[in-house]
Chain A
Amino acid sequence: MTVILEWLSGLCLLLGGGLCISGGVGLLRMPDFFSRVHASGVTETLAAPLLLSGLLLQMELSLDSVKVIMIMILVLATNPTATHAMAKATLHGGQRPLEFANGKDIGGDGSSKL
C-alpha cells in the first residue's frame, strides 16, 4: 500500500513539476500580455494542485493535510479572480489583445470601448 502511495505521489510531483516549467516557458514565449495570462494559468490551475496532492500523499494524515487541502482550494478559487482583475486592469490601461483571427473585427460592438 505504501509503495503504491509513494509511486502515486512521485508521479504527481513529476507531472506537476513538468507542468510548472511548461508554464514558465510559456510565460517567456508568448507574444503579448493576454496570451501570457493563459500560460501562467497552466501553472496555477493544474501544476499547483498536482504538486500539493503529491505532498498530501507523502504526509501522514493529520491536521496538516487539511491545511494542504485548504491551500489547494484557496489557489484554485482565487486564481480566476486575480486573472480577471489583471485582464480588466490591462484593458483599462489601453492595451488591446494581439489578433491573428481570420479577419474578424471584434472592436465594433462598443464593449471594447470601456
Chain B
Amino acid sequence: MRYIRSSLFVAVVWLLLSGHYTPLILSFGAVSVLIVVWFMWRMERVDEKLEVLPMRPRMLYYLLWLMWQVVLSNIDLVRRIWDPDLPIRPTWQRLDTKVTSSLAKTLYANSITLTPGTLTTDVREDHFMVHSLSPDGIEDLRKGGMEEKIQRLGI
C-alpha cells in the first residue's frame, strides 16, 4: 500500500518535470518510477521504517508561521550586518528540549537552523547545542514558543 502511494507520488513528480508525453518517453518514465520504488524497497533493510511529516492543515499553518519567523529574524540579522559596529555577541549554549519523538526533534532542530541567527550544532537525547549570534536568540528559544507549537502538532 505504502509503495503504491509512493510510486504514485514519484510518477506525478516525473510527469510534472518531464513535459514530454510520447509513448516512448512515457515508458522510460514508468521504468524509472519502478527503479526508484525498488531502491526504496531495498533501503528498508538498512533504514528503519520511513517517517513522513503528516501534511495536516495545522502543519501548513506551522510552516507559514515558520516562514514569518524567518522573515523577522532576517530583518534583524540584516540590520546587524550593515551596522558599522557589527553588534553581535555569539554564544554557544545548551538548550533543553521537551519534545521526545525523533520526528518532532528533527523538525525542531531544522526549524532552529532555518531561522537565521540560531544554529543547531548537535542533537542529543534531551538537549540541543545551539549557536546563536546574540544571547537574545537563545533566550527566545528558551521561552518555548516554537517548541510548544511543534508539540501541539502531535507528531
In-complex A–B contact (CB below 8 Å): yes
Question: Chain A residues with Cβ under 8 A from B70's Cβ?
Answer: 45-46
Cross-chain contact A38 with B89 (CB below 8 angstroms): no
Please tell me the number of chain B residues within 8 Å of chain A, measured between CB atoms: 35
Question: Chain A residues with Cβ under 8 A from B7's Cβ?
Answer: none
Instruction: Kindly report which residue of chain A lies nearest to residue B113, judged by CB atoms.
Output: A80
Instruction: Indicate whether B78 reaches chain A with its CB closer than 8 angstroms.
Output: yes
Instruction: Kindly report which residue of chain A lies nearest to residue B127, judged by CB atoms.
Output: A111
Question: Chain A residues with Cβ under 8 A from B109's Cβ?
Answer: 80, 84
Q: Give the number of residue pairs across the A-B interface with Cβ within 8 Å.
A: 119
Contact with A along B36-56 (1 / 0, CB 8 A): 000000000000000000000
Instruction: Indicate whether A6 reaches chain B with its CB closer than 8 angstroms.
Output: no
Which 10 A-B pairs have CB atoms at the shortest separation, nearest pair first?
Answer: A80-B113, A26-B81, A41-B116, A101-B91, A100-B89, A80-B110, A97-B92, A87-B121, A46-B74, A22-B78
